[in-house]
Every structure is written in C-alpha cells, then in structure tokens.
Structure 1
C-alpha cells in the first residue's frame, strides 16, 4: 500500500481550518500532518514538516497566502501547493500561475472534488477550478507567435488539459492508455515551451490553438 499523502493546512479561520482537517482525515489516502493560522507560521511548519502538499488560504494576516506560496516555492520547490480562496476568483491568481503554483480552488468546492484535486496535484498535474480557468482565459487575447505544430491527437488532449480531468480520466474518455496521454502531454509542454499543464493551456489560448469560450 502506498504511503498516504501528507498535508499541511494553512488558514486563519479556525472553523475552516479544522473543518478541512476533519474532512480530509476521513480519507484513507491522506494524512493531515499539521495546521497553521497564518502564512508566517505556515511557512515554518512546511519547512519543518516537509508535507507533500500545502493547502494555503489566499487571504491571511501577517503573511498572506500569495507571499507564503511564493516564498515556499523558492525555499522548498518539491512541496506542492494548492491555493484556497473564497467564492470570488482573486486577481492574484495570475501571478501564482505564472510562478508555477499547481492548484487553485474555491472554498465552496465539494469535498470529493478537493480530494480529487489534491491527488492530481501531488501526482504532477495542475488543478484549477473551472471558475479560475474562465477568469484567466477571459483576460487573454490571442497573440501572433511563431507557429507551433500539434497533431490532431495533441490538440484533442490539450482541450482536455484545460478541464479538471486527470490524465487517467482523459485516457478513459479517449479509450487510450494513461501513459499514452502523459506522453502526449509531455510533447505538448515541450512544443509550447511551458513548464506545467496550466501554463501550457494559457499559452495555447494566447496562440489561438484552442478556444475555451462558451
């Protein structure tokens, strides 16, 4: 049996923090190793506990979630980060995505979907709430860039990469193997010269390769 995913929860609201911890402790594949009430305490806890992933509230006193996430990305880049925010998507999402933060979800997310997102991020995938992706894409305008040649299958997978579907789910939808999807995704990232899934999707929108409008 694989080791459980080790989580640290950082949120200044005790009810939210402890509620998340209680829900996530019910999952057999997850282990909540710590809690912190602000970014300063959370940053030290992350360095000491070395969790697999940190769930970070965006708006906090002393050191907010953005500052903590960017500092943690520099000091401990191997630790995955998932940002938590209210029902409105904060403009800071643009800087966080540009910095390579892997996950961004709203606090009204269903517990099962949050668990799904945690697993996706820990296993090397990006996970952006659909409302986050819509806001980001809404700010983008196609730009003239050097042509990038993607195969029809790569374009199809790229469209799916813009959704919350994991690579395994994409494979099931396309009736192909998960490793095949991962291989295509790797080729897409290389062709677009992007470090991760989220930034590849944004680059593709800028290039006019895909259209995520309704």
Structure 2
C-alpha cells in the first residue's frame, strides 16, 4: 500500500514530535518532513512533494495563511489541512479563502487528525464542527440594507454624511452633478430613507462613517 506523504508545519517542536510519532505508526501515513515556520514549509513542500501538508497558523517569518497562499500559488493542486488552536473569524475565513482543504483544531483526538489527513489526501474537504458552525452563522447573518449599495454609492454616502451638497460631492469625487443625483436617489431607495438627514443617521448608526 502506498503511504500518504505528510509534511508537518508547526512552530512548536513538541507538537511536531507528538504528531510525527503518532502518524508514523499509522499503516498508511508517512511523515516525510517537518518545518517550524511557513517559509520553511514552502521550501520543504517544493523539495519533498508531500501529499498533504498539515499547517499551523501562527508562526514566525511566514504564518500559515501566508504559507498556504504561497504554496497554492506555486501549485494549486497541493492539499493543505489547517491544524490550529484558533477558531476566530480572522483565522478561519482567510485560511479557507486561501485554499486550505480542511480546518481542524488541536484539541481533536489524534485518531481524528489522522482521519482528516486521509480524507484530505482523498480529495475531501474536512472541517471541525466549530468551523462548520461559524460558516453556518455567517450564511444566516442578517442582511443589511447597505449591503445592496454599490462601491460608488457607498463612497457617495460617506461624503454625503459629512454635510456636503450634491455639487460639492461631485467636486470631491470628480463625477458629474447628474451622476451624484442618480447615486443619491439610489441610496435613498436602497436604505429606505426619504432625505439626507435620515441617510446620514443611518450611516452613523451602522458605522459606515
């Protein structure tokens, strides 16, 4: 049976040692290398050609998200499984957006980590229950009226909220007065307000200015 070649990228030596010891006794997994930071992880990926890269997030030189981006920019077919202690939005969503095939926590049982490695090697996406819950929460997050504003409309709203007239907004944004009037009308409709004062209050309440 051909073994899954695993590269472990983690800045804690004891974590690497523990993971290597457990994974190497698995009949179908072989640890082919270790790296203590993202930059070394990138270089060893190129040298060792692992089937799966087990990637920590918080590391010196280059963090796990940066390493994931760099590795996949060079070869989009690489399979990266994030293994971390962090479950905050600022880590989860950028890691998945960078192209990681999975995101699991270090509190997972060793056998579950090995199972996740097998699934990722097989082309499956693997997410811990906590990550699945975060994704579900994001999908069900309340849709705000300002989400419907275009980028330019949002710019106009921000300037409008400072008290400038339509002509002053046109001068500020280097667009025609007619265009400003169109944007202001669209803003009123989308935010369900009837005048500039209400639009300004809305912008302030929703921290848009």
SS at structure 2 position matched to 1:17: helix
Structure 1 residue aligned with 2:115 = 116
| Of 75-84 and 47-56, the range deviating more from structure 2 | 75-84
1:95 and 1:88 map into 2 onto residues whose CA distance is 12
Q: How much does 1:96 deviate?
A: 2.3
Structure 1 residue aligned with 2:25 = 26
When Rg is computed on C-alpha atoms for both structures, the one with the higher figure is 2
8 Å Cα contact 1:89/1:132 also seen in 2 = no
TM-score (norm 1): 0.63
Structure 1: unaligned runs, 5 residues or longer: 145-214
Q: How much does 1:99 deviate?
A: 3.2
2:99 and 2:78 map into 1 onto residues whose CA distance is 12
Structure 2 residue aligned with 1:130 = 129
1:126 and 1:13 map into 2 onto residues whose CA distance is 25
Structure 2 residue aligned with 1:15 = 14
Q: How much does 1:143 deviate?
A: 9.1
Pairs aligned (count): 143
TM-score (norm 2): 0.65
2:120 and 2:136 map into 1 onto residues whose CA distance is 21
Structure 2: unaligned runs, 5 residues or longer: 144-209
Q: Which has the higher contact order (CA 8 A, sep 6+)?
A: 1
Higher helix residue share: 2
Q: 1:99 to 1:38 in 2, by over 3 A?
A: closer
| Of 101-110 and 79-88, the range deviating more from structure 2 | 79-88
Structure 2 residue aligned with 1:174 = none
4+ residue segments displaced more than 4 Å: none
Structure 1 residue aligned with 2:58 = 59
1:24 and 1:90 map into 2 onto residues whose CA distance is 29
Structure 2 residue aligned with 1:166 = none
Structure 1 residue aligned with 2:207 = none
1:79 and 1:7 map into 2 onto residues whose CA distance is 12
